[in-house]
Amino acid sequence: MNTGILQKELHTKWIGRQTLAFHEIDSTNDEAFRRAGNGAEEGLLVMADFQTKGKGRKGRSWDSVSGGNIAMSILLRPDISPSAAPRLTLVMALACAEGIKEASGILTGIKWPNDIVVKGKKICGILTEMKVCGADPPEIVIGVGINVNTEGFPEEIRDRAASLFLESGKKQSCERVMASILERFEKYYAVFLKTGTLAELKDNYDQACVNNGRRVCVMDPKGQYEAEAVGINEKGELLIIRDDGSMDSVYAGEVSVRGIYGYA
């Protein structure tokens, strides 16, 4: 990652005003929280070529397969209720899908709530973490891992992982992809903050979401079942129609979804 090129490409007002670039780090999310603890300002951008302990949801891991990929985190201190914070994952997912399209021309979709997929394989994962201290606004870090120039994946994830390079046959500029995503995120974040909900972003998210109108397997800790996904609500929950015709909403904190015939 070249910070000089990034600064030239990046046209944001406040995201990335302070940028820290590492060749290798444990986790860009963890580093952003460490810096937050030392008073770093909102919009801090942490990026790394390799993460030794990249994180996924629910204790899973995100693998840095080779160089030439994106691992980045941004620090936010929004004045919102902590219960609204997970919605920022969906705001970032929308920014990623659109930013990747703008920078590389590759059309991707969102697998609710936090993964970006291309032809059913995962190209990008997003992890939002939060720390709440008394009545202060929560400290929120959103981490994004994108397989940009990976040429091949280890056996364990080969069947479900993709990269922009494998999809397009061309090396892509990480800096350009990052800049496009962060510019969009900054814009959508302002829209989100007006209400603390996805009310104004929902239609765009629904259009990009690959689950909509399809059967999904809902992996609820209380039991797994199939249903039809029909979109999200303002809270970012996935709306589903169960086989008895009843409508329900599922909350991302507890639940994952899979396609019936594969990952997405």
- The site for ligand ATP (CB under 6 A) is made up of 56-57, 60-63, 65, 114-115, 122, 125, 147, 157, 161, 256
In whole angstroms, how close is the CB of 213 to ligand ATP at the nearest point? 18
Nearer to ligand ATP, 57 or 235 (CB): 57
What minimum distance in Å lies between the beta carbon of 145 and ligand ATP? 6
* Whether 252 contacts 205, CB under 8 Å: no
Strands (DSSP E) contained in the chain are 19-25, 45-51, 70-76, 109-111, 115-118, 121-131, 139-146, 215-220, 223-232, 238-241, 247-250, 256-259
Q: Shortest Cβ distance from residue 225 to ligand ATP (Å)?
A: 16
Residue closer to ligand ATP (CB basis): 156 or 244: 156
Task: Tell me the H-state helices in 49-104.
Answer: 87-104
Q: Which residue is nearest to ligand ATP (CB)?
A: 56
Of 108 and 114, the one with the shorter C-beta distance to ligand ATP is 114
- Nearest distance from residue 221's CB to ligand ATP, in Å? 12
Closest to ligand ATP by CB, 10 or 218: 218
Radius of gyration of the chain (CA): 18
186 membership: H or E segment, kind and range: helix 174-195
